[in-house]
Structure 1
Amino acid sequence: MERINNKRLKISLLTGGQDIHYSLGLLSGLVLKDIYIEFIGNDLMRNADVTKSPNVNFFNLRGDQNPKAPMRKKIIRVLKYYFKLIKYAAVTDSKVFHILWLNKFIYFDRTLLNIYYKMLGKKLIFTAHDINFRKLVGKDTIINRLTLKFLYKIVDHIIVHNEKMKSELINDFKIEGNKISIIPFGINEVIPNSNLTREEARRKLNLEEHEKVILFFGNIAPYKGLDQLIEALKYLKERNIKLLIAGRIKHGCHEYWENVEKMVLKHDLEKYIIKKIEYIPEEEAEIYFKSADVLIMPYKYIFQSGVIFTAYHFGLPVIATDVGAIKEDIIEGKTGFVCKANDPEDLSKKITFFYESDIYNNFENYRNQIIEYAKKKYSWEIAGEKNYQVYKRIVENLN
Structure 2
Amino acid sequence: MTPHLSEQRSDVRGQGTASASIEAAARREVRGQRSEVRGQQSASGNQTPSSVLRPPSIRVALLTGGGDKPYALGMAAALTSVGIHVDFVGSDDLSVPELLANPRLNFLNLRGDQREDASTKAKVLRVLKYYARLIGYAAKAKPKLFHILWNNKFQLFDCSLLMLYYKLLSKRVVFTAHNVNAGKRDQNDSWLNRISLKVQYSLCDHVFVHTDGMKSEMTSEFRIPATKVSVIPFGINNTVPNTSLSSAEAKRQLGIGNDDKVLLFFGNIAAYKGLEYLIAAFSELLTKDRNYRLLVVGKSKGPESYWNQIRRGITSSEIADSVIAKIEYVPDEQTELYFKAADVLILPYAYVFQSGVLFLGYSFGLPAIAADVGSLKEEIVEGETGFVFKPRDSSDLARKIHNYFNSELFRNLESRRAEIKAYANERYSWDKVAAVTTSVYSRLLNSRI
TM bin, normalised by shorter chain, reads: over 0.9
1:139 maps to 2:153 = no
> Structure 1, residues 114-143: CA drift from partner, whole Å, max 9, x if none?
111001110010100111111223322111
Alignment partner, residue 389 of structure 2: 339
Cα distance in 2, alignment partners of residues 263 and 47 from structure 1: 40
Say which of 289, 293, 314 aligns to 2:343: 293
- Normalised TM-score (structure 2): 0.85
Cα distance in 1, alignment partners of residues 224 and 114 from structure 2: 34
- Alignment-mate amino acid for residue 340 of structure 2: K
1:242 maps to 2:296 = no
> Structure 1, residues 239-286: CA drift from partner, whole Å, max 9, x if none?
221111112222x43322221122224542112212222222211111
Aligned length: 393
Say which of 62, 67, 71 aligns to 1:18: 67
Structure 1 residues 71-86: aligned runs within 5 Å: 71-86=120-135
Cα distance in 2, alignment partners of residues 48 and 342 from structure 1: 43
Shift of 1:33: 1.1
Cα distance in 1, alignment partners of residues 101 and 338 from structure 2: 30
Deviates more, 1:385-394 or 1:293-302: 385-394
- Alignment-mate amino acid for residue 291 of structure 1: A
- Alignment-mate amino acid for residue 442 of structure 2: K
Shift of 1:158: 0.4
Alignment partner, residue 175 of structure 2: 126
> Structure 1, residues 323-382: CA drift from partner, whole Å, max 9, x if none?
122222111111111111111001101101111111101111211110000100111122
Shift of 1:17: 2.4
Question: How has the CA–CA distance of structure 1 residues 51 and 387 changed in structure 2, closer, same or farther, with 3 Å as cutoff?
Answer: farther
Structure 1 residues 88-237: aligned runs within 5 Å: 88-237=137-286
Shift of 1:52: 2.3
- Alignment-mate amino acid for residue 261 of structure 2: K
SS state at 1:365 partner = helix
Alignment partner, residue 354 of structure 2: 304
> Structure 1, residues 282-319: CA drift from partner, whole Å, max 9, x if none?
11111110111000011111122211111001000000
- Alignment-mate amino acid for residue 181 of structure 2: N
User: After the TM superposition, which parts of structure 1 deviate over 6 Å for at least 4 consecutive aligned residues?
Assistant: none
Question: How has the CA–CA distance of structure 1 residues 179 and 60 changed in structure 2, closer, same or farther, with 3 Å as cutoff?
Answer: same
Cα distance in 2, alignment partners of residues 202 and 93 from structure 1: 50
Contact map agreement 1:220 1:253 (CA 8 A) in 2:
no
Cα distance in 1, alignment partners of residues 236 and 376 from structure 2: 14
1:353 maps to 2:417 = no
Alignment partner, residue 37 of structure 2: none
- Alignment-mate amino acid for residue 273 of structure 1: V
Cα distance in 2, alignment partners of residues 338 and 41 from structure 1: 37
Contact map agreement 2:92 2:112 (CA 8 A) in 1:
yes
1:272 maps to 2:292 = no
- Alignment-mate amino acid for residue 287 of structure 1: L
Contact map agreement 2:56 2:85 (CA 8 A) in 1:
no
- Alignment-mate amino acid for residue 144 of structure 1: N
Contact map agreement 1:29 1:385 (CA 8 A) in 2:
no
Contiguous gaps of at least 5 residues in structure 1: 1-5
1:398 maps to 2:448 = yes
SS state at 1:62 partner = coil
1:47 maps to 2:96 = yes
- Alignment-mate amino acid for residue 225 of structure 1: G
1:60 maps to 2:105 = no
What is the identity percentage for the equivalent residue pairs of Structure 1 and Structure 2? Answer: 45
Question: How has the CA–CA distance of structure 1 residues 146 and 85 changed in structure 2, closer, same or farther, with 3 Å as cutoff?
Answer: same
Shift of 1:91: 0.4
Deviates more, 1:87-96 or 1:42-51: 42-51
Cα distance in 2, alignment partners of residues 88 and 212 from structure 1: 52
Cα distance in 1, alignment partners of residues 70 and 112 from structure 2: 17
Contact map agreement 1:29 1:381 (CA 8 A) in 2:
yes
1:316 maps to 2:366 = yes
Contact map agreement 2:99 2:107 (CA 8 A) in 1:
no
SS state at 1:53 partner = coil
Contact map agreement 1:20 1:45 (CA 8 A) in 2:
yes
SS state at 2:67 partner = coil
Deviates more, 1:380-389 or 1:338-347: 380-389
Contiguous gaps of at least 5 residues in structure 2: 1-54
Alignment partner, residue 118 of structure 2: 69
Shift of 1:7: 6.5
Deviates more, 1:212-221 or 1:270-279: 270-279
How well do the aligned residues superpose, as a CA RMSD in angstroms? Answer: 1.4
Alignment partner, residue 3 of structure 1: none
Cα distance in 1, alignment partners of residues 97 and 361 from structure 2: 22
Q: Which has the higher contact order (CA 8 A, sep 6+)?
A: 2
- Alignment-mate amino acid for residue 107 of structure 1: L
- Normalised TM-score (structure 1): 0.96
SS state at 1:216 partner = strand
Question: How has the CA–CA distance of structure 1 residues 62 and 375 changed in structure 2, closer, same or farther, with 3 Å as cutoff?
Answer: same
Contact map agreement 1:17 1:40 (CA 8 A) in 2:
no
Shift of 1:103: 0.7
Contact map agreement 2:372 2:391 (CA 8 A) in 1:
yes
Shift of 1:48: 3.8
- Alignment-mate amino acid for residue 333 of structure 1: G
